[in-house]
Amino acid sequence: MLKGWRVPCLSLILMGSMDWLTTIVGIAYFGAVESNPFLAEITRTSLPAFTVIKLSTTVIVGLLFYNAEKMLLKSQDKSSRVFQFTRLTLRSAYLIATLLLLTAVVNNLIVVASASM
């Protein structure tokens, strides 16, 4: 039953990794600047530290979503309103996180494409 949930978690990790990669390429080769104020200073001082923080966070968030779904599916009463609401909330949060990362990747690609012209 959990096999279906691996794909969304892996796609979330993939999108986070793509965000990292496009950010690194933009900064290293095109003079782009990180727009996240929490990470901007780190990218100016240490790209390896940025890499560790960004990729670790990405994997941890993906695993948290996976484990949350795994724990939820252990529930005895899957037909209850609480179960259905919790599952909908979890899936909505996953979708929002994925869309935000997709937006970041598209933005990064636009910045890189604009800078390379």
> Token pair of 5, please?
């949930």
Residues of the chain with pLDDT under 50: 1-2
Q: What is the DSSP secondary structure assignment for residue 111, as one 8-state letter?
A: H
Return the pLDDT at 76.
85
Place of tokens 């890499």: 51
| pLDDT tens digits for range 29-59 | 999 999 999 999 999 999 999 999 999 999 9
Return the pLDDT at 10.
85
Helix (H) or strand (E) holding 43: helix 37-45
| pLDDT averaged over every residue in the chain | 90
**Could you tell me the sign of the dihedral formed by the alpha carbons of 33, 34, 35, 41, in that order?**
negative
Give residue limits of the domains in the chain: 3-116
Return the pLDDT at 1.
42
